[in-house]
């Protein structure tokens, strides 16, 4: 459910060419666009074991295509490369970063102070690197 919300945010930004169709759900992007994203989703080989780092699976956004167009997270308008408050998508868009071109879902946005900061610290950083290093239960 959280992933669908995030794809809705991305499509609401008008990127790429996923026009709205008349539907009962006002904010639902066309199902074909979401399927395009899922079909091209791949685990990021440059991050940890099988894309797993800090309890979160990392995916390679440079491979994601929607209706034949690559995505550009910098065009989504998300502050600090994080889209959302709880279960936010965290994009690594800095070219000099070892994780460049990847994204993962965090438990909370650390810039949503103080609740998000505390949740991110405890779940994603502390527990994600210790007892949940093999994957944070979601």
Q: What is the pLDDT of residue 2?
A: 46
Burial call 93-130: b when 16+ CB within 10 Å, e when fewer? beeeeebebbbbbbbbbbebeeebeebbeebbeebbee
What is residue 62's DSSP assignment? G
Asked if residue 123 is part of any domain, the answer here is no
Asked if residue 35 is part of any domain, the answer here is yes
Q: Say if CB 84 and CB 96 are below 8 A apart.
A: no
Q: Is the peptide bond before 15 cis (omega within 30 degrees of 0)?
A: no
Asked if residue 120 is part of any domain, the answer here is no
Asked if residue 132 is part of any domain, the answer here is no
Query: Is it the case that residue 28 has pLDDT exceeding 70?
Result: no
Asked if residue 63 is part of any domain, the answer here is yes
Structural domain range at position 59: 2-106
Asked if residue 46 is part of any domain, the answer here is yes
Q: Say if CB 101 and CB 61 are below 8 A apart.
A: yes
Number of domains in the chain: 1
Q: Say if CB 104 and CB 80 are below 8 A apart.
A: no
Q: Say if CB 135 and CB 54 are below 8 A apart.
A: no
Burial call 19-43: b when 16+ CB within 10 Å, e when fewer? eeeeeeeeeebbeebbebbeebeee
Asked if residue 77 is part of any domain, the answer here is yes
Coil/strand/helix, residue 87:
coil
What is residue 53's DSSP assignment? E
Question: Which pLDDT band holds residue 16 (cuts at 50, 70, 90)?
Answer: very low
- Express each pLDDT in 124-134 by its tens digit: 999 999 999 99
Asked if residue 48 is part of any domain, the answer here is yes
Coil/strand/helix, residue 57:
strand
* pTM passes above 0.75: yes
């Amino acid at each position: 459910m959280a992933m669908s919300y995030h794809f809705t945010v991305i499509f609401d930004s008008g990127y790429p060419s996923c026009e709205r169709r008349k539907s009962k759900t006002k904010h639902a992007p066309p199902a074909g666009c979401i399927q395009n994203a899922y079909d091209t989703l791949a685990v990021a080989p440059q991050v940890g074991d099988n894309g797993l780092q800090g309890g979160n699976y990392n995916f390679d956004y440079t491979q994601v295509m929607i209706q034949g167009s690559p995505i550009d997270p910098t065009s989504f308008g998300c502050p600090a490369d994080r889209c959302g408050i709880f279960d936010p998508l965290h994009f690594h868009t800095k070219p000099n970063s070892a994780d460049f071109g990847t994204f993962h879902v965090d438990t909370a946005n650390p810039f949503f102070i103080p609740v998000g900061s505390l949740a991110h610290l405890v779940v994603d950083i502390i527990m994600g690197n210790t007892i949940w290093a093999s994957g944070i239960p979601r």
